[in-house]
A = this chain, B = another copy of it.
Amino acid sequence: MFTSINKLPNPLPESDGPNPKAAQALQEGLGGQFGEMRTMMQYLFQNINFRGDAKPYQDLLRSIATEEMGHVELISNTINVLLEGSTTQADPNDLPLSIALESPNIHHFLVAGQSCRPVDAAGNPWSATYVYDSGNLVLNMLYNLMLEATGRLQKCRLYEMSDDKAYRATVSYLIVRDLAHEKVFAKALETLGVEWNKTLPVPKVDTSKMPEVRELEELNLHNQQWTMTNEQSGLSLIFNGDSPFKDGQLETLDGIPEGGPIPNLPEAPQEFSPGLDNELKSKFQNLMNKKI
């Protein structure tokens, strides 16, 4: 089971303005083959189907699966704030949704009510064929290491596509967290005998050119992993000591990150969203008034 906390894992600054193209690029991180929906589902299935008594590895999978649920929320909300304002009419005679014809994903406006969708940056719907669980511990760890490294590679590429402030904040946070997860799985394989020497991480990036990333790494965020639970976890048996990439000391932290508030999306009448007329609104208001 899971319980819900009404927060995003990282604060989300305001966007510099509507940017449907950057929003669509970010969809790769949400619904792409190496995006957050996939990592969340893959680790959840590997956790559930775990065999044998090497439970700390099972706990490790559960921690990251749970963290990824929050990443799904973070990146979805970032897409939404990038879309916000894109259909505001300068002139009341303008066609309110004509921008949709110029946007890379018309479904943001036509199918959803100006919000994110479970698809990748090319518009392909997420598919469970992406989920890998072989039942073999070493193979699963190897796959997950590759998965996190690929996710981070794609986010480093995304970083270079736009410098919108909200976009960059989330992309940078995920670059750092993917690096931490890359370490979790590299460390897990290290406990079973692999020595990585200087091969990892991939990609190797010069964070002096990525100030938003650098700032987070200065907080050691790339060496930390939360248990994402109030219960005991075997994660710390694996995730401790030297980073397998020799860039700091690993820290297992109990519980969850401090996080930031979830943005509120205003009504969008041009999208008929939420679409309540005055009569329905007054019904809702009566409901609220009964609160006391």
- Complex Cα spacing A288 to B131, Å: 29
Contact of A237 among B154, B256, B290 (CB under 8 A): B290
- Complex Cα spacing A198 to B89, Å: 30
Asked if residues B237 and A3 are in contact (CB atoms below 8 Å), the reply is no
Contact of A128 among B53, B104, B125 (CB under 8 A): B125
Asked if residues A231 and B21 are in contact (CB atoms below 8 Å), the reply is no
Listed in ascending order, the chain A residues whose CB lies under 8 Å from chain B are 1-9, 21-22, 24-25, 28, 31-33, 37, 41, 44-45, 48-54, 56, 62-63, 65-66, 69-70, 72-73, 76-77, 80, 95-98, 100-102, 104-107, 109-119, 121-131, 133-139, 142-143, 145-146, 149-150, 153-154, 156-158, 160-163, 189, 191-200, 202-205, 228-231, 237-238, 255-257, 259, 264-268, 270-277, 279-280, 283-284, 287-288, 290-291
Asked if residues B135 and A114 are in contact (CB atoms below 8 Å), the reply is yes
| Contact residues in B for A229 (Cβ distance below 8 Å) | 3-6
Chain B nearest CB from A49 CB (Å) reads 4
Asked if residues B51 and A113 are in contact (CB atoms below 8 Å), the reply is yes
Contacts A2-B70, A44-B72, A138-B199 given; 7 further ones with Cβ under 8 A?
A1-B256, A4-B66, A49-B76, A100-B157, A129-B129, A137-B276, A202-B272
Asked if residues B112 and A136 are in contact (CB atoms below 8 Å), the reply is no
- Complex Cα spacing A72 to B291, Å: 33
Number of copies: 6
Nearest residue (CB) in B for A102 is B21
Asked if residues B136 and A272 are in contact (CB atoms below 8 Å), the reply is yes
Asked if residues A110 and B25 are in contact (CB atoms below 8 Å), the reply is yes
Asked if residues B202 and A193 are in contact (CB atoms below 8 Å), the reply is no
Given A135-B115, A137-B274, also A265-B49 (CB < 8 A): yes
Asked if residues B128 and A4 are in contact (CB atoms below 8 Å), the reply is no
- Complex Cα spacing A76 to B109, Å: 22
Chain B nearest CB from A40 CB (Å) reads 10
Nearest residue (CB) in B for A28 is B110
Pick 16 A–B contacts, CB within 8 A, sort by A: A1-B69, A37-B128, A52-B273, A95-B162, A112-B133, A113-B136, A123-B124, A125-B127, A127-B129, A134-B153, A138-B200, A142-B146, A191-B283, A193-B197, A194-B197, A194-B199
- Complex Cα spacing A193 to B66, Å: 33
- Complex Cα spacing A35 to B160, Å: 33
Asked if residues B272 and A100 are in contact (CB atoms below 8 Å), the reply is no
- Complex Cα spacing A191 to B282, Å: 11
- Complex Cα spacing A133 to B161, Å: 20
- Complex Cα spacing A51 to B114, Å: 10
Which 8 pairs show the lowest CB-CB distances between chains A and B?
Answer: A113-B135, A135-B273, A118-B128, A203-B272, A49-B115, A126-B128, A137-B274, A193-B197
